[in-house]
């Protein structure tokens, strides 16, 4: 059924040692003229929680205010992130995970704590531009079988970033290790949707999980994120499951969000490389035929040989330390054994 006003958007942010980026992300929401903080059930009955007048309801157009609750799940940060949230953003609900639970498990924890009819999965290395969330919420309210929608992603300088993708193919596995030509890397052959000039919605296989809005109704039918994905590919898996149940996935270029890509992963690059490939194997073993998995493994191992040679050369040139080389080779050996 279409959503009816008033409606609340729950924004779930999983944070791990990204204090400064998280601050900017939260400020881009709480300081945005298009959004109002949802404090409780009083927002649903026409009251605003104590200042008189009526509460902003679900937007009939993306120019209207949107009720938002923000849930930050801290994955065991040791950089002062949770303390910063408590001190500077008292309206934000902080959930301490008690350690690094991984993205999928921490997100599910945040979703279980949320109360909204719509659910926004948002990375802490993002910043909301203008009425992006209201536009996405308005779109989902008007499209009954739309399970999820993603925005157009931008780099910090305003240039476009790929934010929507086709489901993985062997060509994508090949180009990950053997980038023959930049045109091919940015083509549909490598899973990229072309950048579009217009603002109209378009169906896609899946948006990037850094910013994806879901209907709670769809989440209830499709199920939560698969917690066997520690990090990476969980949004691909969820969208595959949604589409098999007849739901539709979209990108809305009119909604724009800045994404400072890969900030959490940069803290532990070799470990995150292992997690990326582990998640890919799990995705393929779960959804793809055995022949695809074998072909992907062969491509990956050929690529790993090249990566090992590159790492050795970088160490000889002094671009990385010998300790960094050791960690890199250990990560590549771990991936080889998968």
Tens place of pLDDT per residue across the chain (338 aa): 455 555 789 999 999 999 999 999 999 999 998 888 776 654 444 333 333 333 333 344 444 568 999 999 999 999 999 999 999 999 999 999 888 999 999 999 999 999 999 999 999 999 999 999 999 999 999 999 999 999 999 999 999 999 999 999 999 999 999 998 888 888 999 999 988 777 789 999 999 999 999 999 999 999 999 999 999 999 999 999 999 999 999 999 999 999 998 666 666 789 999 999 999 999 999 999 999 999 999 999 999 999 999 999 999 999 999 999 999 999 999 999 99
- The last residue of one of the domains, among 211, 239, 262, is 262
- The last residue of one of the domains, among 229, 245, 262, is 262
pLDDT of residue 44: 44
pLDDT of residue 196: 79
Tell me how many degrees the CA angle 106-209-294 measures, rounded to the nearest 5. 95
Q: Is 321 exposed, middle or buried (0-12, 13-18, 19+ CB in 10 A)?
A: exposed
Structural domain of 306: 267-336
| Per-residue buried b or exposed e for 85-107, using 16+ beta carbons within 10 Å of the residue's own CB | beeebeebbbbebeebbbbbbbb
pLDDT of residue 150: 98
Number of domains in the chain: 2
- The last residue of one of the domains, among 215, 232, 262, is 262
251 and 271 inside one domain: no
Residue 43: strand, helix, or coil: helix
Going from the C-alpha of 260 to that of each of 20, 124, 266, 298, the distances in angstroms are 12, 9, 11, 32
């Amino acid at each position: 059924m279409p959503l009816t006003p008033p409606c609340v958007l729950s924004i779930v942010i999983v944070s791990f040692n990204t204090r400064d980026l998280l601050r900017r992300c939260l400020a881009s929401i709480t300081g945005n003229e298009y959004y109002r903080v949802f404090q409780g059930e009083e927002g649903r009955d026409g009251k605003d929680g104590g200042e008189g007048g009526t509460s902003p309801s679900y937007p009939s157009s993306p120019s209207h205010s949107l009720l938002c609750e923000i849930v930050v799940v801290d994955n065991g940060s040791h950089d002062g992130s949770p303390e910063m949230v408590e001190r500077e953003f008292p309206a934000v609900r902080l959930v301490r995970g008690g350690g690094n639970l991984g993205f999928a498990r921490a997100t599910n924890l945040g979703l279980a704590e949320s109360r909204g009819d719509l659910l926004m999965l948002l990375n802490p290395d993002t910043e909301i531009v203008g009425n992006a969330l209201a536009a996405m919420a308005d779109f989902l309210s008007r499209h009954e079988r739309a399970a999820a929608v993603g925005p157009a992603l931008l780099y910090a300088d305003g240039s476009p970033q790929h934010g929507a993708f086709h489901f993985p193919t062997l060509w994508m596995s090949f180009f990950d290790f053997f980038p023959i030509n930049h045109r091919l890397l940015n083509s549909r052959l490598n899973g990229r949707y072309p950048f579009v000039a217009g603002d109209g919605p378009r169906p896609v296989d899946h948006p990037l999980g850094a910013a994806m809005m879901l209907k709670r109704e769809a989440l209830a039918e499709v199920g939560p994120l698969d917690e066997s994905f520690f990090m990476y590919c969980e949004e691909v898996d969820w969208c595959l499951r949604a589409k098999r149940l007849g739901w539709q996935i979209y990108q809305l270029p009119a909604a724009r969000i800045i994404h400072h890509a890969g900030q959490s992963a940069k803290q532990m690059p070799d470990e995150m490389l292992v997690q990326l490939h582990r998640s890919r194997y799990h995705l393929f073993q779960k959804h793809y035929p055995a022949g695809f998995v074998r072909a992907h493994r062969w491509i990956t191992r050929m690529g790993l040989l090249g990566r090992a040679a590159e790492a050795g050369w970088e160490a000889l040139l002094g671009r990385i330390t010998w300790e960094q080389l050791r960690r890199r080779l250990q990560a590549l050996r771990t991936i080889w054994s998968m």
